């Protein structure tokens, strides 16, 4: 499928996508709050600035967009244009994610990654979050 936007329009659109307070992140935060958990956001003193942090439990949650972090699901499929650029970009993102998760684990933190596509069905997500936080 050919991109229906000009390169300038596509670039402007992609540049507007933020790294904080994304729709999937807000879903996870609201769910956590509703089941009684309180947390901190985007701690800059931790590797990778986890999206959600439970300091006393030493647990961190990253909420990853399927496209930007190369999940491989339907949402995370590779674009058909500028393939070389996107492969390198998304591979770099994945490698950085792995480094940050290892660095947190080396500091004694437990890490959970929630993917954008997982925020569509809240029942299993709620259970997964509870299991992660109660252990």
Q: How many structural domains does the chain have?
A: 1
> Does residue 9 register a pLDDT over 70?
yes
What is the average pLDDT value for the chain, to the nearest integer?
90
Does a structural domain hold residue 65?
Answer: yes
pLDDT at res. 76: 82
pLDDT at res. 21: 76
Query: Any idea what DSSP says for residue 77?
Result: P
pLDDT at res. 118: 96
Greater model confidence, 72 or 19:
72
Q: Residue 95: which domain range?
A: 18-129
Strands (E), 55-103: 59-64
Element (H, E) at 11: helix 7-15
Does a structural domain hold residue 11?
Answer: no
Stated pTM of the model: 0.86
Return the CATH number at 86.
3.40.960.10
Greater model confidence, 75 or 9:
75
Does a structural domain hold residue 99?
Answer: yes
Does a structural domain hold residue 13?
Answer: no
Does a structural domain hold residue 30?
Answer: yes
The pair of three-digit structure tokens given for residue 41, joined into one six-digit string:
């956001």
Rounded to an integer, what distance in angstroms lies between the CA atom of residue 132 and that of residue 111?
Answer: 9
Does a structural domain hold residue 85?
Answer: yes
The pair of three-digit structure tokens given for residue 60, joined into one six-digit string:
């961190």
Rounded to an integer, what distance in angstroms lies between the CA atom of residue 93 and that of residue 89?
Answer: 6
pLDDT in tens, 22-71: 999 999 999 999 999 999 999 999 999 999 999 999 999 999 999 889 99
Does a structural domain hold residue 5?
Answer: no
pLDDT at res. 18: 66
Does a structural domain hold residue 33?
Answer: yes
Phi, psi of 102 (to 5 degrees): -65, -40
Residue % of the chain over a pLDDT of 70: 90
């Amino acid at each position: 499928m050919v991109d229906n936007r000009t390169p300038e329009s596509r670039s402007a659109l992609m540049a507007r996508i933020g790294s904080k307070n994304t729709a999937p992140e807000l879903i996870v935060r609201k769910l956590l709050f509703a089941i009684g958990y309180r947390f901190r956001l985007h701690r800059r003193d931790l590797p990778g600035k986890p999206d959600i942090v439970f300091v006393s439990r030493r647990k961190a949650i990253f909420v990853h967009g399927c496209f930007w972090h190369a999940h491989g699901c339907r949402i995370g499929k590779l674009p058909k244009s500028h393939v070389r650029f996107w492969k390198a970009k998304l591979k770099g993102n994945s490698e950085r994610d792995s480094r940050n998760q290892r660095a947190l684990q080396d500091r004694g933190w437990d890490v959970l990654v929630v993917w954008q596509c997982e925020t569509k069905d809240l029942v299993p997500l709620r259970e997964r979050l509870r299991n992660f936080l109660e252990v």
